[in-house]
Amino acid sequence: MGCATGTIKYALFIFNALWAILGILVIGLGGLGWGAMPQTHAISIIVLGCVMLFISFFGCFGALRESSRLLWTYATLLLVLLVLIVAQMFIGTRDVFKEYAIKTVEDSWVQELTTPGSMNLIQKTYNCCGRNGADDYVKIGRLPPSSCCKDSNCINPLNLFTTGCLTKVEDAFADEAQTRQYYEWGMLGFDLIILVLAVILAIHYTNRRRRYNY
């Protein structure tokens, strides 16, 4: 049992180190995506990363110090996180990035009507032109800007992007829901593994302490 317990102990420590790294990556994702998603969503991602990082410390210290109290606290926090992940899987919005990107295109096009150049960044990023296509500029009495052309060179008509930015944005985020689902199931599975390991160790150390008290 001692060898098995030691294996579980160090396995839990390694998994928690990975969990902490994942938490840091999640925080980084929230920071990098600050302008590419709703602010409240970015904040929630950063908070999730901080919670994951905080929880991992309980697991590491609980395993290294062989503390049943820390491990039970850790298991409880993991259980809460597990419930939150499951709730997010069922009630969370699937296409946060796509919906935000579509709204950005819509708002930028409205702004483009009065402030030429408002669409430039979007058009360069997605290699698109106008809201629904290059004809949108013709309809408002303008020529497509240089951001609508490959390498900003509109001398050659073949360089003109004819696809609208709404279509390009929808295509770019077409797999968002599926990718997010994979991510959520991965987190759920990882959470379950370390939860089981934590409970096994917590039970073992609790029973050992009881035996020492007799």
pLDDT in tens, the chain (214 residues): 455 666 777 777 788 888 888 888 888 877 776 666 667 777 877 888 888 888 888 777 777 777 778 888 888 888 888 888 888 777 766 677 788 889 999 999 999 999 999 999 999 989 999 999 999 999 999 999 999 999 889 888 899 999 999 999 988 887 777 777 888 888 888 888 888 888 888 887 777 766 665 5
Half-sphere exposure of 32 (CA within 13 A, CB side): 6
End-to-end CA distance of the chain: 20
Cβ distance 154 to 146 under 8 Å?
yes
Q: 3-class SS at 28?
A: helix
| Residues 6+ positions from 135 with CB-CB distance below 8 Å | none
40: buried, middle or exposed (CB in 10 Å: 19+, 13-18, 0-12)?
A: exposed
Separation in Å, CA 143 to CA 118, 123, 129, 137, 208: 15, 14, 11, 6, 79
State both tokens at 199.
């409970």
